[in-house]
């Protein structure tokens, strides 16, 4: 699908490099296609941000970052190269997500969290079960936690505050 221009709100003082797609229309039907991208964002080449997401001020991306629809992302967040934020995630303020990370649907990452390279999450409690979608639930990383290299978090796992 082609990116859309209407319903895209981008704050002032932004820097969007060539080959970025801001306003990619998701194939899934969602209730609000408005993309809100706060001021002072810096998007590096290959970044794709879907419609239907709200992102605060001072977002920085590395190269080839994908941010899917229906996400809520706070202020002063960096998401580095080749990382993917799947849909319906909650990411707080002052979060650092390093390179090569996959944040699955329904994951919550609270304020002031550092995520090391290679971080992966899972949300499928009962894979391949006919009604598995009913049970999808992502992990939670609480405020101030630091998560190391190549960590995999399974559904419903909670990393405690300051851990």
Decide if pLDDT at 14 tops 70: yes
- What's the predicted TM-score (pTM) here? 0.95
What gap in Å lies between CA 96 and CA 90, rounded to an integer?
A: 14
pLDDT at 41 (0 to 100): 98
pLDDT at 130 (0 to 100): 84
Structure confidence by residue, pLDDT tens digits, 78-125? 999 999 999 999 999 999 999 999 999 999 999 999 999 999 999 998
pLDDT at 29 (0 to 100): 93
Structure confidence by residue, pLDDT tens digits, 26-59? 999 999 999 999 999 999 999 999 999 999 999 9
Of the chain, the end-to-end C-alpha distance in Å amounts to 41
pLDDT at 78 (0 to 100): 98
Confidence of residue 4 (pLDDT cuts 50, 70, 90): low
Rounded mean pLDDT of 119-137?
89
Catalogue the E-assigned strands of 11-89: 15-16, 21-24, 35-37, 42-43, 48-50, 54-55, 60-61, 66-67, 72-73, 78-79, 84-85
Rounded mean pLDDT of 8-21?
96
pLDDT at 89 (0 to 100): 98
Structure confidence by residue, pLDDT tens digits, 138-151? 999 999 999 999 99
pLDDT at 126 (0 to 100): 87
């Amino acid at each position: 699908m082609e990116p859309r221009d209407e319903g895209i709100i981008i704050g002032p003082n932004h820097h969007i490099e060539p080959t970025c797609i801001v306003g990619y229309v998701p194939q899934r039907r969602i209730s609000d296609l408005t993309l809100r991208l706060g001021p002072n964002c810096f998007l590096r080449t290959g970044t794709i941000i879907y419609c239907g997401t709200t992102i605060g001020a001072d977002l920085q991306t590395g190269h080839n970052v994908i941010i899917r629809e229906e996400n809520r992302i706070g202020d002063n967040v960096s998401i580095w190269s080749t990382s993917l934020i799947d849909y319906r995630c909650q990411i707080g303020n002052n979060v650092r997500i390093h390179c090569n990370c996959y944040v699955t649907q329904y994951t919550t990452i609270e304020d002031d969290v550092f995520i090391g390279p290679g971080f992966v999450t899972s949300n499928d409690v009962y894979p391949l079960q006919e009604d598995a979608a009913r049970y999808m639930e992502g992990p939670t990383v609480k405020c101030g936690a630091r998560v190391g290299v190549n960590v995999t978090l399974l559904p419903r796992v909670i990393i405690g505050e300051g851990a």
